[in-house]
Each structure stands twice: as structure tokens, then as C-alpha cells.
Amino acid sequence: EYELCEEWGHLYPVPREDLINLHREHLLHLLEMGDMEKALQLLERIEDPGICLAISEQSLDQHPNLAASHFLADYLTAHFYTSLTTARRNEIQALCIGSKVLLTLPELSRVNYFHLSSRPLLMLEQLLMNMKVDWVAVAVQTLHQLLAGQEIGFTVEDIDSLLSKYAEKALNFPFTLKEKRS
């Protein structure tokens, strides 16, 4: 009965923290149900930008499902970009990019890498370590497209360096060649 609680909040004074908690739980519920349209409407109904920012950030910190994380990261970037600290902005953008990379993976495998969605470079490294070369190729292509002109704490050069490191390790042989003796 989130709507009833929201109406009650309009009629009687509700402490700020309780209001944030109510809206956060309502937002997470809508996102879990996959109703992005109602979630967006809920955020637009909130008049105080400070409360809206707090709700969005707290919801994102709850680590909801992939679609919800992507929705919240996009919303925060679109509406509160200048209100966020540089570190938080980089973190949210990394999550947004990581979730897009995650969407390039086969659906059944996404759950194995979801915990790395806020760390795209680490996700790429994990894919390399798991010998998922085809997936890495698609992920790298996606990252190159998404990183064009953005600052999120890592660059295309960091990706290339990671790939070079693992390519070198793949060519490293653990044994020495014996000389032929006559």
C-alpha cells in the first residue's frame, strides 16, 4: 500500500528519513516488478531534489537486479550529474557501463558476473581468466564504444594493457626447450 502511505505523507508531516525510506522501498518494489514507467513517475512526483537524489542513491546501493541497476545509474547520471562527487560519478558511470557489458553476455551466464557489474575492468579480467575469449571480444568492442569521450576511472589504454598482459601470459611456456645433443 505504498500509494496510501504516500497520500498520508501529503496530509500529515512525516519525518524526512521515513519519507526517504518509504519512497526507496516503493521504488525498489516497482523496479523488482519491472515497471520502469511507474518507477520513473514515482521519481518525478517527488518535489524535493535532495530527497529524490537520496532515494535514487540508496536504491542503487541496495544492489538491485541488472535492469534496476541500469535504470538507476542512467537516472542519476541524467538528473543529478552535477550534484554527485567525482568519485561517485565515476562509480555510477562504471556501473552503467558494466551493466551494458553484462547485457552482451549470454543470459544464463550473467548471474555469474553480476557482482562485477560496477567494475567492468575486473569483469573483463574474469572473462579472460575463464577463457571466454568470444565473450571478451564482444565486451571489448562494447567498452570501446561506451568509453568514447567519457571519464570513469579507466580508459581504453587500460583495457589494451589488460589484454596485452593476458596475451603475454598465454604465450608464456612453463618449460624450457632441451638442446639436441649428438
- In tens, the pLDDT along 131-152 reads 888 898 898 888 888 887 666 6
Last residue of one domain, picked from the residues 63, 84, 105: 84
pLDDT at 168: 81
Q: Is 27 exposed, middle or buried (0-12, 13-18, 19+ CB in 10 A)?
A: buried
- Classify residue 180: in a domain, yes or no: no
78 and 12 inside one domain: yes
**Are residues 28 and 59 in contact, defined by beta-carbon separation less than 8 angstroms?**
yes
- Classify residue 182: in a domain, yes or no: no
pLDDT at 53: 92
Last residue of one domain, picked from the residues 51, 84, 117: 84
Residue partners of 7: CB distance under 8 A and separation at least 6: none
80 and 1 inside one domain: yes
1 and 80 inside one domain: yes
**Are residues 127 and 135 in contact, defined by beta-carbon separation less than 8 angstroms?**
yes
The model's pTM is: 0.72
6 and 35 inside one domain: yes
pLDDT at 96: 84
pLDDT at 37: 92
94 and 80 inside one domain: no
pLDDT at 173: 66
In the chain, which residues have pLDDT < 50? none
Whole domain around residue 123: which residue ranges?
Answer: 90-171
67 and 10 inside one domain: yes
C-alpha cell at 123: 569483469
32 and 2 inside one domain: yes
